[in-house]
Structure 1
Amino acid sequence: MPRTIPGPWRRVADGAGLLSADGTTRPTIFADMSALAARTGAINLGQGFPDEDGPAVVLDTARDAIAHGVNQYPPGRGVAELREAIAAHQQRFYGLHLDPDRHVLVTAGATEALAASLLALVDGPDDEVVVFEPYYDAYAALVALAGARLVTVPLRFPDFQPDPQALRDAVSARTRVILVNDPHNPTGSVFSEELRTEVVRLAHEHDAWIVTDEVYEHLVFQVRHEPIAAMPGAWERTVSISSGGKTFSTTGWKVGWATGPADLIEAVLAVKQYLTYTGGAPFQPAIAAGLALTDDWFASLSDTLRVKRDLLGRGLRAAGFDVSVPAATYFTVVDARAVGVVDADRFCREMAESVGVVGVPLTAFVRPEERPAVASLIRFAACKRAPVLEEAVGRLSQLQPRD
């Protein structure tokens, strides 16, 4: 009789909402919906990945690196060229002065940086991690992996702005980390300066760390992203995380980074080296080349996505949905109650068959007990070519309101 498998996998699966009643795991909703799109021929506006390649200089630099033998282990902290480019990027856009040898760590995507940061900064079951809910689905699983307790601050349709009092109520002496995703996935919201200031104040009051997830930093419309680390009193207790995947349409390369004070980065590195150790050798100089692109290129990136956001939003409104207009990211969230839908999970599966478009229900981004509050909400992704979005909008016009 084989032994029962030990370890934290059950906590992780349960935290991610993947543990079934019989104790087995099931695929994520993203895998389910992408498979459904492939099977039905539906346009996949569910998972947030672009259908176009990134800038030529980024792709060509990767090809050149491969051709010239940059195919073995890079340094554990990341290649110097990329660490220097990240430091220059933080200075250029945010006025942050980083030492690339002490304040920068390259990771296997932002999710590894999040995992290493939480494992480094959380001590165990007496600690709490505060997040804004809905949240990127990895957060609950990573907090469970760290053995901590997840505490959430709700974001409500249509503006998805947190109530400062709810944040104050969530942060306590047991709070070890306040995890801030800004710009926010899945809602597309951008947090106010007042909210970010309150995060810093609460972190000082309760001696908590701040971990920020800023992977959509260059996909902000009309205003420039403002990181918490650049705010007064924040740097010394903040780990800032981002990646090249969303900015340069290279999500499959998994090149991310963490920046912060030397002591925090050393702690994150101590964990990270036993996760992937290192990776992405030929892609690291390629992302460095991307970070050196002109200000005009970065501005055109958000301008182009804003046009796609508006195209998709018009189509969703014409189809009868109530639309939350995002301030950033790939994503637009709608309330389907306007078309008579109360179960977005079921409706998304039916929609793939009936009109040939896939979205993701927001129930995938919340704890089970919070699902009734978002039961009619759906996230659609605009990071597709304009003709694809136009076809999706045309298909959505076929939706028939429900009684």
Structure 2
Amino acid sequence: MAAAIELQTRPGSSSSSASSSNTATSHEGILFQQPNGDDGKLTDPEELEIRDLVSDSEDDALIEKEEDEEEVDEPPVVPAPLPKSSFRSALLWMSINTFATIGIVFTNKAIFSDPSLKLAQLSFAAFHFFITYLTLFVLSRPSLAFFVPRRAGFRDMLPLSIAMSLNVILPNLSLAFSSVTFYQVARILLTPTVAAMNFVLYRAKLPRGAIISLIPACVGVGMVSYYDSLPTKDQNIKTTSSLGVIFAFLGILASSLYTVWIASYHRKLQMSSMQLLFNQAPLSAFMLLYVIPFVDTFPTWTKVPLNRWLMILMSGGFASLINISQFFIIAQTGPVSSTVVGHVKTCTIVTLGWITSGRGAKDMSVLGVVVAIGGIIAYSIVMLQEKKKQAARG
């Protein structure tokens, strides 16, 4: 998530911090069967979000239609393919989202490599929350009208805002003490963790094939965790410290809880992701202001190099691009496209992270990377096929 708060369309793409950044999100395609809702059909966060985005306009249209037209039996209309302009627009925004997600991970890694900024994580998160709020404020203005802002009570939003803060801070701490490769591969665990939480909380079940495909994904992450954290005599090889591993797994738990709560808050408050985020971001930033003086270790600001300040501004810019592009991706693409984009981002970040880590092709952790990514791609394929079967059954 690397500090950009992504709309929670799929667990792994997360908010924040693109920490999936990022995610998620990077581990796309979490679907689950909810026996007590929607007639037991498979649902996913993207479907919930699309319903949120279009529900108001659809309701208005249905009311007008009922008033002006009599009921007429008509044959089903086959949806027309997207016009070329829409396809190009969707491709453009997917490219922007991919570029911004990759950019924010490596930019934040460069920022955290500076010892004077590594332990100012809460200040950095508060900065990103402010950027997120500012971006959504602009998008909600009548001249743009991407969404209509709605207010929620302080007590309603407090638990979600705390989870949102942990969802950003813990993955960023993982990135600060880990290699980029391990950081990104570890985020794959979001998928099985969210699935487990949904089962415990809501008895939501996954198909057997999906569960089987998650086993190699978990094994692969374990292999990378072990081999990437082994000490090495070569100073040019970037490794992951024990703190990095601990923060990574704590971040997985925080991000998974945030993902599950987001879905429940959609239903509870009847808000879209943008409306929820518009309420969460300023509250999270405000809460962190009370904690920052006691937790963060501040650098001597005058001694921070100019290029670091530029990187911080770039990180904020990438965060804005992620939030803006995510809106268009939700509106213009389907689950297959979103899943492919998520895997492209994961593979690209892992590959670039490996190239910059100084490790060779014979390093054992590369096997773990292949197994983990192969498992999560197999999971996505199984879930998309299951979704098609559910749609065919009506």
Whether TM-score is above 0.5 comes out as no
Whose RCO is larger (CA < 8 A, sep 6+)?
Answer: 2
TM-score (normalised: structure 1): 0.22
TM-score (norm 2): 0.23
Q: Which has the higher helix share?
A: 2
Report which of the two has the higher share of strand. Answer: 1
